[in-house]
Amino acid sequence: MKKYWVKKFPSFKEAEKADQKYYSSLSSKERLDIIQFLRESYFKLKGLFKNDGRGRLRRSIKIIQQT
């Protein structure tokens, strides 16, 4: 059985501070794992993710012409 923790806050501002404190306490690898999980969930939800393995981050290039 999975356990879920819920904490109530008196205001959105205090909840935001608690979120920032929590995510700053995580290691960089843990934060990247969370981002990757969210990416995969989004792609599966939208039907854009074709394979089951972890995909790479998309790269984009924008060419800017200087005047």
Q: Output 16 or 39, whichever has higher pLDDT.
A: 16
> How confident is the prediction for the chain on average, in pLDDT?
84
**What integer is the mean pLDDT of 25-32?**
94
Question: For the residues 50-63, what does the mean pLDDT come to?
Answer: 67
Tens-place pLDDT, residues 31-41: 999 999 998 88
Q: For the residues of 2-67, what is the DSSP string, one character each?
A: --------SSHHHHHHHHHHHHHHS-HHHHHHHHHHHHHHHHHHHT---SSSPPPPP---------
Query: Structure tokens of 55?
Result: 């995909």
Q: How confident is the model at residue 12 (pLDDT cuts 50, 70, 90)?
A: very high
Domain ranges of the chain: 12-46
Quote the distance between the C-alpha of residue 22 and its chain's center.
14
pTM comes to 0.55
